[in-house]
Amino acid sequence: MIQTYYNPDVLSCLANLSNDEVFTPPSLVNDILDLLPTELWSNPNAKFLDPVSKSGVFLREMAKRLMKGLETQIPDKQERINHIFGKQLFGIAITDLTALLSRRSVYCSKTANGKYSICETFDDEQGNIRYKRMKHTWQNGKCTFCGASQEVYDREDALETYAYNFIHTNKPEKIFNMKFDVIVGNPPYQLSDGGAGASAIPLYHKFVEQAKKLNPKYLAMIVPARWFAGGRGLDEFRKEMQNDKRIKTLIDYPKSRECFPGVDIAGGVCYFLWDRDYNGPCKFISRIRETETVSERFLDEFEMVLRDNVGISIVHKVISTKEKMMSEVVLRVSPFGLRSYERGKPKEFKDSVKIISSAGEGYIEKSSVAKNHELIDNFKVCIGYLNPDRAGVNNAADGMVNVTTKVRLLEKNTVVTETYIIPYTSPDYDKVFNCANYIRTKFVRFLIQLTLSSMHIAQKNFSFVPLQDFTETWTDEKLYAKYGLTKDEISFIESTIRPMDFEKDTEG
């Protein structure tokens, strides 16, 4: 008889709670645990904490390793189980439901002291996988611990508060009253803040910061990679992580689906090993499709973390020229102070100015332009503020990316809403025309792409794009020669960035 049944690991089949609370596949958990020293698994005194247990997979996989590693020291299987679950493995669940799920995965029973529990040492239902319903601490409409909106989360007891135990306390060490050698986990990523659309505040960095306060020997977490460039609520966290020489290894996935199948997280994800006693460069591993690149470098070399190990050599060549960068001339977000919902009137009228919005063209009072009024009569280069590849979410079959939307040339007496970025303006049409074609080059879009870790393109994403003399025309071939790129570097850019048509000067 040929057996054809399929018996998968049930924890690899769970549907995610959301893109913000993602169940970690067992294979990925083991990749993260592989970063830890192997001798930990044969140390009967080592203590491990998952402060954000959802499925219990981290605790379960650690238990497997400890069961094998302690076999010679504690030969009796039941005694070994009791020791590992009773004295070494600890978890804090994020909800009542995940507490039950975690205990079922780890103890084989939703109650630690239940009839079917494999551990004999517990005298209560929670065991070492704790859950405590917490409340937010409100001040001026926000939670002082996580920043949650009181309007959204000050709710009845029957509804989930999302006040996670681990970060809603000033004394996390009191939860178990012990020190931990290892803290690992996959924290919730963000929390809706009650703003328009999908507006949300990041949360994951608070779990990393709280874990560091416990001062474990090792810390490993998987989080969104948006912190590489900072942004809303993450600038201080980015600086702290960049300057922390205890981050020994960092593995980056620019495309989240290559790490979490079926999950789209703009900007990708990364996981890291923080070693309390290490002080040195970070081993930065970038995994894109089936290609892996490795470099040893300090994360604070640049203002933001550059995720492309090949691209760094190109950036070094660019900055060695000591030229100004385009970030000095790109207009800040909402270049004319006009909100995205501005539409204007359908027809031109006296003292009006043309407005470009996501709905097309319209006309508004020139006096209603809130800022950069002096630039209204300039020609302008314009691109959308959303990255069309959604920072790695849109996975083209060939792996190539566009980086920017179509590069447009705007006439005088034209403004845009906050939906657009204005990289360059000038009263000289020829300069603006040449700049538009410059931004269309693969070289420029590659340098922008190096800095992207979210769906938005902003002024800072032009930090490594050199400002050229726009009385000249610029092509990729001319730029490759100017900055001395090697054949391999050119090939890398050409295979990464999708071609964008240049426009011919028919009006100048």
pLDDT tens digits, 165-179: 999 999 999 999 989
The domain ranges of the chain are 13-307, 319-496
pLDDT band at 57 (very low <50, low <70, confident <90, very high): very high
pLDDT tens digit sequence for 254-280? 888 888 887 888 888 999 999 999 999
Other C-beta atoms lying within 10 Å of the C-beta of residue 60: 20
Mean pLDDT, rounded, for 339-358: 92
Q: Is the pLDDT of residue 129 over 50?
A: yes
Model pLDDT, residue 7:
43
pLDDT band at 193 (very low <50, low <70, confident <90, very high): low
Q: Could you tell me if 288 and 255 are in contact, meaning their C-beta atoms sit under 8 angstroms apart?
A: yes
H or E element that contains 103: helix 96-107
User: DSSP label at 51?
Assistant: E
Q: Could you tell me if 493 and 448 are in contact, meaning their C-beta atoms sit under 8 angstroms apart?
A: no
- Positive/negative CA dihedral, 252, 269, 27, 46: positive
Q: Is the pLDDT of residue 196 over 80?
A: no
Distance of alpha carbon 79 from alpha carbon 90, whole angstroms: 18
Q: pLDDT over 70 for what percent of the chain? A: 91
Same fold, 13-307 and 319-496: no
Domain spanning 319-496, CATH class: alpha beta
Rg of the chain taking only CA atoms, in angstroms: 26
Model pLDDT, residue 6:
38
Q: Could you tell me if 483 and 317 are in contact, meaning their C-beta atoms sit under 8 angstroms apart?
A: yes
- Positive/negative CA dihedral, 124, 99, 37, 68: positive
Distance of alpha carbon 435 from alpha carbon 414, whole angstroms: 18
Model pLDDT, residue 400:
83
- Give the predicted TM-score (pTM) of the model: 0.84
CA dihedral 211, 204, 268, 199 (to 10 degrees): -170
Q: Is 230 exposed, middle or buried (0-12, 13-18, 19+ CB in 10 A)?
A: buried
CATH architecture of the domain with residue range 13-307 = 3-Layer(aba) Sandwich (3.40)
Three-state DSSP at 76 gives coil
